[in-house]
């Protein structure tokens, strides 16, 4: 736990770099493994007018957070709204950011493909048409469409349908898209324990996940930038020890808290 001190937060957009050394910054950044981009809220207090005017809708924004000597990116997306209001004696500028990295999620794609075309070929072509950056494309069953294939609708919906038909999940992480077996993830080589930031005792849950009743654990920890959708981590607590996959959660920074809440399944 000795290294988890001296909070570091940095907001970067439109040539600006604003840190928590300069101003008070709060945020809530959710993440999960469905195909709908997540919407995060960042609050920066008492920005001067000229700086506030440079934070604009449509601009890219990245958010880095962590501790002295250990900072990482927890958000990369597009600003969709900016507004300010009074909070006591202060003025808070709120920034809504959507994690979709240039993807034209509402763009329609009308295309026809010849016989014997694979789903992976169609997915890559449709993704290119809507500006979607695919980081990983690993279909458990790359279906062959012997009679060809036609699509006429939102490109995102076409990709989701093809991915599910091939037994794959489809979700964004830091603005890049992953299409792969829901059981797969990225080993972050990290063990969460009381000495690395685990708070309290993991709480068991049972809920419907990927159309099945699934058991897992809800966990609270000091903020850990390595934790994101599909991260594979080790958990070591008084009641639970094992290797788990992150299915969702959120990073939180307030005046009092600097935490990561996560849900994991084995």
Does residue 23 contact residue 9 with C-beta atoms inside 8 Å? no
Asked whether residue 63 carries a pLDDT value surpassing 50, the answer given is yes
Rounding to the nearest 10 degrees, give the CA dihedral for residues 111, 115, 121, 123: 40
How many whole angstroms separate alpha carbon 179 and alpha carbon 240?
A: 30
Cβ proximity of 248 and 263 under 8 Å: yes
pLDDT band at 212 (very low <50, low <70, confident <90, very high): confident
pLDDT (tens digit per residue) in 152-188: 999 999 999 999 999 998 998 988 899 999 889 999 9
Query: Which residue bears the tokens 């062959």?
Result: 144
* pLDDT at residue 4 is higher than 90: no
pLDDT, position 2: 44
Tell me, yes or no, if the pTM score tops 0.85.
Answer: yes
Mean pLDDT in residue range 201-221? 88
Instruction: With a cut of 70, say whether residue 102 has pLDDT above it.
Output: no
Rounded Cα gap, residues 66 and 225, in angstroms: 6
Over residues 30-43, the pLDDT tens digits come to: 999 888 889 999 99
Mean pLDDT of 176-201: 94
Average pLDDT, the chain: 93
Angle at the Cα of 84 from the Cα atoms of 79 and 89, rounded to 5 degrees:
145
Diameter over CA atoms, the chain: 66
Beta bridge partners of 144: 118
* Rounded mean pLDDT, 3-22: 93
CATH architecture assignment, domain 7-101+185-265: Roll (2.30)
Tell whether the model's pLDDT for residue 191 goes beyond 50: yes
| pLDDT number for residue 1 | 46
Residues 214 and 123: their CA atoms lie apart, in Å, by 29
């Amino acid at each position: 736990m000795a290294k988890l001190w001296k909070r570091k937060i940095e907001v970067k957009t439109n040539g600006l770099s604003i840190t928590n050394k300069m101003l008070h910054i709060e945020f809530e950044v959710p993440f999960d493994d469905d195909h709908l981009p997540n919407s995060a809220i960042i609050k920066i207090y008492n920005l001067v007018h000229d700086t506030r005017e440079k934070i604009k809708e449509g601009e890219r924004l990245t958010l880095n957070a962590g501790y002295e000597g250990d900072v990482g990116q927890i958000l990369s997306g597009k600003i969709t709204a900016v507004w300010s209001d009074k909070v006591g004696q202060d003025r808070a500028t709120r920034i809504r950011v959507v994690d979709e990295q240039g993807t034209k999620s509402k763009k329609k794609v009308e295309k026809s493909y010849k016989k014997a075309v694979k789903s992976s070929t169609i997915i890559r072509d449709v993704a290119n048409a809507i500006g979607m950056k695919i980081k990983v494309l690993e279909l458990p069953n790359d279906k062959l469409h012997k009679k060809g294939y036609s699509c006429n609708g939102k490109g995102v919906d076409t990709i989701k349908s093809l991915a599910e038909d091939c037994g794959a999940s489809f979700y964004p992480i830091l603005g890049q898209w992953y299409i792969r077996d829901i059981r797969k993830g990225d080993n972050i080589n990290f063990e969460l324990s009381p000495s690395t930031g685990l708070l309290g005792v993991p709480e068991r849950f049972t809920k419907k996940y990927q159309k099945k009743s699934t058991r897992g654990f809800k966990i609270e920890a000091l903020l850990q930038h390595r934790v994101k959708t599909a991260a594979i981590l080790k958990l070591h607590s008084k009641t639970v020890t094992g290797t788990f996959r992150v299915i969702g959660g959120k990073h939180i920074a307030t005046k009092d808290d600097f935490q990561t809440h996560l849900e994991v399944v084995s």
